[in-house]
């Protein structure tokens, strides 16, 4: 039974004891039962309230511990691959830029078949950025 259901039951019980409720049984025949039930019910409600209060204190203590842990420095590294083939590595500490490194690619001549051929008939040559395997592993 949830906490709200217990509260509703206790309100109904009090209403019946005061005579305002429309109950089919007489209060004179069940006064001992009702009072014992009311005592047990009030004890259970008090116990639930104490449990809820203890749980909320535990949660607040855990939140305080988490706040202490979040005061540590946050370091984030972001790699950006630029259109020219270079790679920019930015390191942030607590949201502020700490360092920036730019890695320029090694340019390699590659035939460009989209361009018209040269007067000698050879294909046009364009320089494309290429990283060696060692450079890729170092990232």
List the domain boundaries for the chain.
3-69, 73-104, 105-139
Between the CA atoms of 40, 11, 6 and 27, what dihedral angle is there, to the nearest 10 degrees? 50
Residues 6+ apart with CB under 8 A from 52: 3
Query: In which residue are the tokens 């494309």 written?
Result: 128
pLDDT of residue 25: 46
Task: Determine which helix (DSSP H) or strand (DSSP E) holds 100, and give its type and residue range.
Answer: strand 96-103
Q: What is the pTM for the complete model shown?
A: 0.36
More confident position, 129 or 74: 74
pLDDT digits (tens, 9 = 90+) for 51-82: 988 888 888 877 776 665 556 788 999 999 88
CA atoms 119, 120, 122, 128: torsion sign: negative
Q: Mean pLDDT throughout 8-37?
A: 57
| Cα radius of gyration (the chain) | 38
């Amino acid at each position: 039974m949830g906490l709200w259901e217990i509260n509703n039951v206790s309100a109904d019980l009090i209403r019946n004891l005061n005579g305002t409720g429309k109950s089919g049984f007489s209060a004179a025949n069940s006064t001992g039962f009702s009072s014992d039930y009311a005592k047990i019910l009030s004890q259970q409600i008090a116990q639930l309230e104490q449990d809820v209060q203890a749980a909320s204190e535990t949660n607040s203590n855990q939140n305080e511990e988490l706040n202490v842990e979040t005061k540590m420095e946050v370091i984030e590294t972001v790699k950006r691959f630029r259109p020219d083939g270079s790679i920019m590595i930015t390191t942030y500490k607590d949201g502020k830029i700490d360092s920036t490194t730019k890695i320029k690619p090694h340019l390699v001549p590659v035939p460009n078949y989209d361009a018209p051929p040269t007067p000698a008939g050879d294909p046009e040559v364009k320089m494309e950025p290429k990283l060696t395997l060692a450079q890729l592993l170092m990232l």
